[in-house]
Amino acid sequence: MFNSLISRIILLNVLLLIIGVGTFAMYHLQREQGHLIDVNRQNAELLLNTIERSIFHSMCTGNQANVQAILEKVGSSRELLAVQIFGPQGTILRSARPEELGTAINQRNFDLFQSGNLEGYFETEDGERAITKLLPIMSDGRCVECHGEKGGVIGVLNLDFSLLNMYDQLRTTSETFIVSTLVNLIALTAGIALIMTRLLRRPLRQISKGMAKVEAGDLSVRMPERANDEVGQLMSGFNSMVRNLENAQTELQQYHYQQMERADRLASIGEMAAGLAHEIKNPLAGIGGAIDVLADDYEKDDPRREVMSQIQKQISRLNRTVTDLLYFGKPGEPEFNYVDMNNLLKQTQLFISQHPEAKNINWIEELTRDLPLVWADQKQLQQVLLNLMINGLQAMSGGGVMTVQTEHVELEGRDWVKVDISDTGPGIPQDQLNKIFTPFFTSKTEGTGLGLPICRQLMVRNGGKLSVTSEQGKGACFTLLLPVAENQEAVELKQD
């Protein structure tokens, strides 16, 4: 039940109400109790003064019977537990109960008189709470004849006033307050629950069900329009999100269809190119042989021999183009083995350094020691490295620096061997970075546009990745990622 946000909010509100109302109730009851005690104290004091004035005249005239009658009549009240007159020594001189005459006053009341206090609170043996009020009776000129010197205390009027009615009234008030508070709490809780259910729980459940449908793939879900409050804004945001997802899905589907059509066209072009290349390659070989024979018939200084040489160069270029087309259309299956990328890079760099365009190039090698082996086709990887390095040389026709780096990295929870091949050429324009791996795209006058697509194709077939970063005027950097061989035999082979 309390896993629900609405239930927790309702419970929190109820607890806050209970704490607030309970605090107010305690304060109110204490205040009410203090007020009732003050009222009862004032009543007791007023009654005490009234009794004192009533009996004073009778005492002055010596009418003791009248004093006793007054005390018995007043003491008949249920609220008065005791009405007594006791002497300074604690002997009861007059009492509403005649049987108490001549006995000792209650020790509690006598101690109260001895301490100089005229008021005190106590509980009877039955647990009834009461207040004691004392009023010393002083001697004046009219009392000298009976009691001697003027000014002394001739007696103490004692009044024990019951607080039972006050506590009954307080209990009734408390019960009424508690019942009314509980009724109000129940009503407030029901009201809060109803409001929260209508304004929050239903809309949130509606949104939750809508999100479940969206998760299942139904992007036609929409929330009903509401007032412009927080929940309404949340629903509007949900509708906006679903619309954006629907538009994105439509765009992705269109892009997917376009890519599928493009892939089909490329596959058809590849098959056609492979067929054409196969049909063209043999005649080109025959034409090249015939040109060689014809060139041999001319003297070395014959101008026609130079023409034959140019024709032979063009035939060679066409033969390379046809070879690329054939390889792109039907690439060979990789022959996997353990490959040490550091050794392969050194071999490739040694081979490339003999290239005529590598004369003004400075080589920097930053090869990580103890580099793990990779599981790939060494010949295909060397073809990729040759292509990338030759591209770098051609980009630095006026000279520059070619940097080769290797590193062991962890990406996406897997171990990879990373190879960076960077140059200091003019770089690749930003608008061409996403096109250089597209078949037949080239910025060279004599290129086929298949070199980099073939490199990426080979990397993918070997389980790796090929990417490029470039900044205009600062060169380009091609990054190869190849998965590390997981078999322990590869580690042992490398150690051997």
pLDDT of residue 369 exceeding 50: yes
**Confidence at residue 343, expressed as pLDDT on a 0 to 100 scale:** 92
Question: pLDDT tens across 240-275, in order?
Answer: 888 888 888 888 888 877 777 766 666 666 566 666
- Domains 5-170 and 220-330 fall in the same CATH topology: no
Q: What is the CATH number of domain 220-330?
A: 1.10.287
H runs (alpha helix) in 84-129: 107-114
pLDDT of residue 80 exceeding 70: yes
Question: pLDDT tens across 152-166, in order?
Answer: 677 888 888 888 887
**Confidence at residue 17, expressed as pLDDT on a 0 to 100 scale:** 78
Question: pLDDT tens across 117-138, in order?
Answer: 888 888 887 888 888 888 887 7
Determine if residue 307 is left, alpha or beta; phi over 0 gives left, psi from -120 to 50 gives alpha, anything else beta: alpha
**Confidence at residue 142, expressed as pLDDT on a 0 to 100 scale:** 56
Question: pLDDT tens across 186-224, in order?
Answer: 888 788 778 777 777 777 777 778 888 888 878 788 877
**Mean pLDDT score across all residues of the chain:** 78
Q: What is the CATH number of domain 337-495?
A: 3.30.565.10
Predicted confidence band of residue 144 (pLDDT cuts 50, 70, 90):
very low
Q: What is the mean pLDDT of residues 328-345?
A: 80
**Confidence at residue 264, expressed as pLDDT on a 0 to 100 scale:** 66
For the chain, the domains span 5-170, 220-330, 337-495
pLDDT of residue 494 exceeding 60: no
**Confidence at residue 404, expressed as pLDDT on a 0 to 100 scale:** 93
**Confidence at residue 420, expressed as pLDDT on a 0 to 100 scale:** 94
Closest C-alpha to 321, from 356, 290, 276, 358: 276
Range with the poorest average pLDDT among 202-211, 238-247, 380-389, 478-487:
202-211
Task: Give the span between the Cα atoms of 350 and 346, in whole angstroms.
Answer: 6
Task: Give the span between the Cα atoms of 44 and 162, in whole angstroms.
Answer: 9
Task: Give the span between the Cα atoms of 167 and 39, in whole angstroms.
Answer: 13
Q: Given 3.40.1390.10, 3.40.50.880, 3.40.50.720, 3.30.450.20, which CATH number is that of 5-170? A: 3.30.450.20
Q: What is the mean pLDDT of residues 372-378?
A: 91
Task: Give the span between the Cα atoms of 368 and 366, in whole angstroms.
Answer: 7
**Confidence at residue 71, expressed as pLDDT on a 0 to 100 scale:** 78
Give me the phi and psi of 331, to 5 degrees please: -70, 150
The DSSP result for 36-68, as a single string, is HHHHHHHHHHHHHHHHHHHHHHHHHTT-HHHHH
Highest mean pLDDT among 57-61, 228-232, 347-351, 488-492: 347-351
301's tokens: 């200084």
